[in-house]
């Protein structure tokens, strides 16, 4: 569980740091970023929000563009941002942006050549939190959030692991990947032709099965170019209503799919998580 610090910068009294490590889940070298608020010490470990980014992103997009550090410093919450897929010369890839590197979809691939490295579900759920908790002044209390493909990841991981997280939030999540082009392409490649196996990684399908045990906050811009074809938040709402799951969906007028949108509401999301992490 050796990690190597490759960059750091002080911000709002805390520290933003980047690290690399060799991942056993993914069979490659991985990079992640962490923000530690000034209150984080071995004597006072802080809870963590795990942020999952979208297609084509790395750990840097959220940390550089979301403007989350002031609120995280005030609240005393760490933020961890992993990469969105395995990386390396021997890692399978595709010429299109929505499959392969940068498009891990936070699942465990079962199909060749993807199954050699693409086990992002195991990495996010098990390996990365163990690494973070072993090397930084953080507690085991954690919540999960994300954007677009990462919103899909946050919802599905949180719903399937309610004993590990305190709350879930998402911006513009791919809410029903089985029924949209991005999801269908990725699931067919990573998981194979059996549509039944896809349901384990579809938040709408998971909510149809039983009531969510965790509170969920979702923000969606109504000017998002991907809203109707790819994101389908209405399916998430309908699925949540079946078992009275605690889902709040906020349609935000005029906002698009960008980090301008995320930066406008990220403080509210951190305060939402703080209610459950700091209680």
Give the residue numbers marked as catalytic. Answer: 148, 224, 257
Q: What are the respective helix, strand and coil percentages of the chain, to the nearest 5?
A: 40, 25, 35
Give φ, ψ of 47 to 5 degrees. -75, 170
Reduced to 3 states, what is the DSSP secondary structure of residue 217?
Answer: strand
Which among 28, 37, 31 is positioned nearest to 19, based on CA atoms?
A: 31
CA distance linking residue 73 with residue 269, whole number of Å = 14
Which among 73, 81, 80, 72 is positioned nearest to 13, based on CA atoms?
A: 73
Residue 97: CB atoms within 10 A of its CB come to: 11
């Amino acid at each position: 569980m050796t990690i190597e610090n490759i960059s750091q910068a002080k911000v709002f009294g805390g520290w933003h740091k980047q690290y690399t490590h060799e991942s056993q889940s993914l069979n490659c070298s991985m990079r992640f970023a962490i923000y530690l608020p000034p209150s984080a010490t071995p004597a006072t470990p802080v809870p963590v929000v795990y942020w999952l980014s979208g297609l084509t992103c790395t750990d840097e997009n959220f940390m550089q563009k979301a403007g989350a550090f002031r609120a995280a410093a005030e609240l005393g919450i760490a933020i961890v941002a992993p990469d969105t897929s395995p990386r390396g010369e021997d890692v399978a890839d595709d010429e299109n942006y929505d499959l392969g590197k940068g498009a891990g979809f936070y699942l465990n691939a079962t199909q060749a050549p993807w199954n050699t490295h693409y086990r992002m579900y195991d990495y996010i759920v098990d390996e990365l939190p163990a690494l973070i908790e072993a090397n930084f002044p953080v507690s085991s209390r954690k919540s999960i959030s994300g954007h677009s493909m990462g919103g899909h990841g946050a919802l599905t991981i949180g719903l399937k692991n309610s004993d590990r997280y305190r709350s879930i939030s998402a911006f513009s999540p791919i809410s029903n990947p089985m029924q949209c082009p991005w999801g269908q392409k990725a699931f067919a490649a990573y998981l194979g032709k059996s549509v039944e196996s896809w349901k384990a990684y579809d938040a709408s399908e998971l909510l149809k099965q039983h009531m969510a045990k965790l509170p969920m906050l979702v923000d969606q811009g109504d000017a998002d170019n991907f809203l109707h074809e790819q994101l389908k938040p209405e399916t998430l709402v309908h699925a949540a209503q079946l078992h009275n799951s605690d889902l709040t969906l906020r349609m935000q007028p005029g906002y698009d799919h960008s980090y301008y949108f995320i930066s406008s509401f990220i403080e509210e999301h951190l305060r939402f998580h703080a209610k459950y992490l700091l209680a």
